[in-house]
Amino acid sequence: MKIALDAMGTDNCPGPEVEGTVAAFPELPKDVSILLVGDETKIKPLLAKIPGAGSLPLSIHHTSVAVTMDESPAKALKSKPDSSMAITVGLQKKGVVQASISAGNTGAFMGSALFILGRIEKVNKPGICIAWPTPHGKPVAVIDCGAVADCKPVNLVQFGLMGSIFAHKALGIENPRVGLMNVGEESTKGNELASQTYPLLAAASAINFIGNLEGHDIMLNKADVIVCDGFVGNILLKFFESVPHLVKKLVGDTFKQDSFAPFRQAFNRDIYGGGDLLGVEGVVTICHGSSTGLAIKQAILKTYRMAQEKINDEIRRQICLLKETP
What residue ranges bind its own copies (CB under 8 A)?
Answer: 135, 146, 149-150, 181-183, 190-192, 194, 214-220, 229-232, 234-243, 245-247, 249-254, 257, 259-260, 262-263, 266
CB atoms within 10 A of CB 54: 9
Residue 11 or 313: which CB sits closer to its own copies?
A: 11
Residue 21 or 234: which CB sits closer to its own copies?
A: 234
Residue 12 or 195: which CB sits closer to its own copies?
A: 195
Distance between CA atoms of residues 11 and 19, nearest Å: 14
Distance between CA atoms of residues 148 and 166, nearest Å: 18
CB of 187 vs its own copies, minimal distance in Å: 13
CB of 109 vs its own copies, minimal distance in Å: 15
CB of 19 vs its own copies, minimal distance in Å: 25
Residue 118 or 211: which CB sits closer to its own copies?
A: 211
Residue 121 or 253: which CB sits closer to its own copies?
A: 253
CB of 126 vs its own copies, minimal distance in Å: 16
CB of 282 vs its own copies, minimal distance in Å: 24
Closest CA to 109 of 195, 4, 181: 4
Residue 49 or 249: which CB sits closer to its own copies?
A: 249
CB of 161 vs its own copies, minimal distance in Å: 22
